[in-house]
Structure 1
Amino acid sequence: MKGRTIILGHLGEVEAAALMVDGKLDDLLVDSDAPNPGTIYRAIADRPVKGQGGMFLKTPDGSAFLRQIKGLAPGQAILVQVSGFAEPGKAIPVAAKILFKSRYAIVTPDAPGLNISRSIKAESERDRLLEIAHDVAGEAGHGLILRSSCAGADAEEISEDITAMLALADTVMQDDATDMDVLVEGDGPHLLAWRDWTDPAEVITDDDGFDTHGVLDALEAARGIQVGLGGAASMFVEPTRALVAVDVNTGNDASLAAGIKANMACARALPRALRVRGLGGQITLDLAPMPKKDRRAFETALRQAFRGDDVETTLVGWTPLGHFELQRKRARVVVAEVLS
C-alpha cells in the first residue's frame, strides 16, 4: 500500500496513533500513566543534588529533577515543563525553559522575536507568513516560531493557532501562585499526531483501523528484537537497564563488502526501529566488521537518516573498541512496557 496513512484508535484501553508509510509502520505514539512531555507544573524546589548542578522538585505527579539550576532555593515555586519520559524508578525529567507548541506555531516566552522554519525556502511564502505573524503577534511579549507545516496552510488557521498559543502562554507565564499544581497537560497520542504528522495523509478513525491497516501485525514484529536489513543481514535492537544495544550481523553473506552494506542498511533503518519501539537514552552500535576508511561514509548515512527524525538524537562517536554511540532523548514511552 503506497502513501501515508494515519490511524487513530486504541490498543486495548490505551490511546494510540500509528503512521503507516508505504505499508510499513513508520511511527507509533502510545499513551501511558506517566505525565506526557509538554506537561507544565508549578513545582516546589525540594533539595539540591551536590556535584550534579541539579535539584529535585515536588510535583503533583511525584518527584521531578531539574538540571542547571541557578538561584533556586528549597521551598521556592518554579514553572517547569516535562521534557521526556523518566527511566523506571527515576524522577520525572523537567526543564525550566517553557515552550507552547501546536501544529503551526511554537511560542517561546524566554526567546523574543519572530522566526520562520528554515525548511520554508520560498521568499513569497516567507513574506506571507511574516505578515500573518506580525498581524497576530507583533505586539506580543513572547517569541514566536512558525513551523514548516505553515507552508501553504490557510492564513486563518495559522492565525487562530498563534492566537490560542499566545493566550495559553499569557495565562501560564503570569501565574503567581505558590502551591504545586498541574497547569497544562501534555498532548496525548491523537493530539500529537495532529500536531506533528503534518504531511498529507489519509486519516483513519475506524474502530478496527489498527487491524485492517496492518498496524497490529507490524507492532507484533516491532515487539521483537530482530530487524531485517535486506538479504541475509539483520540487526538486533535490545534495550537493557543501562543502554540500548544494537548488534549488526551480515548473516551468511561472506563477500568483502558484506560489512559495509549491512552497516549502511543499519544507518537507514535505525531511526524507524527506535521510533516504533519508543527507545531512547544511551545507544551503542556493535557494527559488522568494516575497514576504518568506511567509517566516514557510515557516519554521513547515519546523520542523514536522523535528520528526518523528530526525536533529538546526538551522534556521539566511536569508542576505543570500535562501537558507535548515540544519545537519544526519551521522548516516547517504551512500547514494550505499555503493551506487555
Structure 2
Amino acid sequence: MKGRTIILDHLGDTEAAALMIDGKLDDLLVDTPDAPRVGTIYRAIADRPVKGQGGMFLKTPDGSAFLRQIKGLAPGQPILVQVSGFAEDGKAIPVTSKLLFKSRYAIITPDAPGLNISRSIRDEEERDRLLEIAHEAMDGAAHGLILRSCCVGVEGDEIADDIEAMLGLAQTVLDDDSTEMEALTEGDGPHVLAWRDWVEPAEVVTDAGGFEEHAVLDAIDALFEDRIPLSGGASMYVEPTRALIAVDVNTGADVSLAAGIKANMACSRALPRALRLRGLGGQIVLDLAPMPKKDRRPFETALRAAFRADDVETTLVGWTPLGHYELQRKRARAPLADIMA
C-alpha cells in the first residue's frame, strides 16, 4: 500500500495510534494507563533537595517527581511543573518547570516571551502572513508563541483559533492561585498526539479493527524480535538491558572489503525508527561492524542526518576507546515491552 495512513484504534482497552508509510509501520503511539502522560502539568510541592545533583524531589498526586535546576526553591514550596518524559521502573517522574502549551499549529511558551515562526518556514511572504496572525491573536499577551511548520498554507482563522485555545489554557493554569498539590492538566493521548504531530497529508482510519485490517498488529509483533534485518543481508540486534540499550551490527554473508561500512550505514538509517517504535531511550551503545577509521566520519554524518529527522531528542556522544559509538536519547516514550507486558 503506497502513501501515508494514520490508524486510530486500541490495543485491548489501551488507546493507540499507528502511522504507516508505504505499508510499513513508521511510528507508533500507545497510551500508558499506569503512568502520567508526557505534558501533564502539576502543582507540585517541593520535598527534599538532592545534594550534588542540583535537583529536588517533588510530591505530586502521581508520586515522587524529580526536578533539576532548582535555584530559589525551598522545601514545602508549591511549583508548577510539567512531565517531560517517562521514568524508569522505581524512579521519580522527570519534570521541568518550563511549561509548554502545545497544539497542532501553536505552542505557547510562558517562560520565553516573543513571537516566533518555525525556522523551517523560509518563504518571507508566508512568514510575514503568519506573524500578522500571531500579533492579532496574541493581542499583547505576555506569553511567548511559536507557530509550527505545519502552519504553511493554513487558513488564518484556523491558526488563530488554535492560538486562542492554547492561550486560554495557559492563562487558566497560570492564574490558578491555589497552593494545594494537584494535577492541573493531563497530557495528550495517542489519538490527539497523532492529530497534533503527524501533520503531513495522510488517509485517516478511525474504524474499530483498523490495526488488524492494515497489518499493524503483525508489525507490532515483529517489534518484540531483537534482530532487525538491514539491506544487503546485514542485520542489527537491539537489546535493552537495565543499564543501557545495546545495538550489535553484523554484516551477514557479505565478506567484501566494504561489508562493514555498508552494514553500519544501513544501521544509521534504520536505528531511529527501531528505537522510536520500541519506545527506547537512555544510554545507547553501538557495537558496529568492523570498518576502517577513515569511514567513521561518513558514518557519523549519516547517523546525524537520520536522527535530525526524528522527533525525539538524541545526542550523538561519540566514540569510545574500544571503538563503540555512544548516544544519549531522551526517554520521551514508555518502552513498548513494558506497556504490552
Query: What is the TM-score when the length of structure 2 is the normalising length?
Result: 0.99
Report the residue type matching 1:249 in the other structure. N
Q: Which residue is equivalent to 1:15?
A: 15
Q: Which residue is equivalent to 1:72?
A: 73
Say whether 1:261 aligns with 2:262. Answer: yes
CA distance in 1, matches of 2:177, 2:236: 52
Q: Please identify, of 129-138 and 58-67, the stretch whose mean Cα deviation from structure 2 is larger.
A: 129-138
CA distance in 2, matches of 1:266, 1:45: 43
* Other structure's SS at 1:17 match: strand
CA distance in 1, matches of 2:66, 2:298: 38
Say whether 1:155 aligns with 2:191. Answer: no
What are the within-5 Å matches in structure 2 for residues 1-340 of structure 1? Answer: 1-32=1-32, 33-340=34-341
CA-based RMSD of the aligned residues comes to 0.7
* Other structure's SS at 1:294 match: helix
CA distance in 2, matches of 1:111, 1:103: 19
CA distance in 1, matches of 2:154, 2:87: 36
Report the residue type matching 1:141 in the other structure. A
1:251-305 deviation line (CA, Å, top 9, x unaligned): 1111100000000000000000011101011111110000000101000000100
Report the residue type matching 1:174 in the other structure. D
For residue 138 of structure 1, report the CA deviation from its aligned partner: 3.6
CA distance in 1, matches of 2:322, 2:178: 53
For residue 134 of structure 1, report the CA deviation from its aligned partner: 0.7
CA distance in 1, matches of 2:124, 2:240: 45
Contact 2:269/2:303 (8 A) holds in 1: yes
CA distance in 1, matches of 2:308, 2:22: 20
Report the residue type matching 1:254 in the other structure. V
For residue 224 of structure 1, report the CA deviation from its aligned partner: 1.0
For residue 231 of structure 1, report the CA deviation from its aligned partner: 2.4
Report the residue type matching 1:143 in the other structure. G
CA distance in 2, matches of 1:247, 1:284: 9
* Other structure's SS at 2:243 match: coil
CA distance in 1, matches of 2:84, 2:59: 16
1:295-332 deviation line (CA, Å, top 9, x unaligned): 01000000100111011111111111111111111111
CA distance in 2, matches of 1:153, 1:4: 20
CA distance in 1, matches of 2:248, 2:189: 32
**Runs ≥4 in structure 1, deviation > 4 angstroms?**
none
CA distance in 2, matches of 1:208, 1:177: 44
Instruction: State the percentage of identical aligned residues.
Output: 77
For residue 39 of structure 1, report the CA deviation from its aligned partner: 0.4
For residue 173 of structure 1, report the CA deviation from its aligned partner: 1.4
Report the residue type matching 1:18 in the other structure. A
Report the residue type matching 2:154 in the other structure. A
Report the residue type matching 1:20 in the other structure. M
1:151-178 deviation line (CA, Å, top 9, x unaligned): 1112111000000111111111122211
Report the residue type matching 1:23 in the other structure. G
Report the residue type matching 1:253 in the other structure. D
For residue 206 of structure 1, report the CA deviation from its aligned partner: 1.2
* Other structure's SS at 1:36 match: coil
For residue 140 of structure 1, report the CA deviation from its aligned partner: 0.7
Report the residue type matching 1:4 in the other structure. R
Aligned length: 340
1:84-126 deviation line (CA, Å, top 9, x unaligned): 0001110000001111000000000011000000111111111
CA distance in 2, matches of 1:182, 1:299: 42
Contact 2:232/2:263 (8 A) holds in 1: no
For residue 2 of structure 1, report the CA deviation from its aligned partner: 1.1
Contact 2:55/2:67 (8 A) holds in 1: yes
Report the residue type matching 1:70 in the other structure. K
CA distance in 1, matches of 2:41, 2:270: 34
Report the residue type matching 1:299 in the other structure. E
For residue 68 of structure 1, report the CA deviation from its aligned partner: 1.3
CA distance in 1, matches of 2:5, 2:153: 20
CA distance in 2, matches of 1:226, 1:140: 52
CA distance in 2, matches of 1:242, 1:72: 31
* Other structure's SS at 1:231 match: helix
* Other structure's SS at 2:231 match: coil
Provide structure 2 residue ranges, at least 5 long, that are not aligned to the other structure. none
